[in-house]
Amino acid sequence: MKQIAVLHIDDPSAGSRRLSRYLTRLTDRSICCKRVRRLMWVMGLEAIYPRKRITIPGDPSGIHSYLLRGLDINRPNQVGAADITYIPMQKGFMYLFAIVDWFSRKIVAWQLSNTLDAEFCRRCLKRALLLNGSPDIMNTDQGLDSRNKCLRL
């Protein structure tokens, strides 16, 4: 069990099958993945991996057509883009909000938080506006988080 715990710390995305192969190589004995699965269950360990996403249909009236198609972006601060990325952690998620200048492809501002609330997005957006001014166009991906909380200022 100690070896399973050490291997799980080294590779938290490894499930019982991969840990079984690791243990077989380490001990030169065949260790069944069912045994490793049972021991992982007893120890309360499970592999960390992205879970299946379930689509939640939104209100189509809030979705706008893509207005940047064919636009010639030829100077800095013409178009900015904002997005939220979920970073899986041992328990839950961290949320990374980033604002990128499309011309230079530089990250203008970013903020990391353990809660997905509008205030952490607003702080990042205010910092980007103070440092670089207001872009002519601010683009988001129209995901649920962008439409619901963060970017409705």
Nearest to 46, CA basis, from 59, 36, 56, 55: 36
pLDDT given at position 151: 54
Contact between 76 and 106 under an 8 Å Cβ cutoff? The reply is no
Per-residue pLDDT at 58: 58
pLDDT at residue number 37: 93
Please report the pLDDT score of residue 46 as a whole number. Answer: 87
Is residue 150 within 8 Å of residue 84, measured between CB atoms?
yes
pLDDT in tens, 14-48: 899 999 999 999 988 999 999 999 999 999 998 88
- Quote the pLDDT of residue 152: 52
Which residue numbers in the chain have pLDDT < 70?
Answer: 53-67, 142-153
Distance CA 23, CA 8 (A): 11
Residue 19 token pair: 């840990």
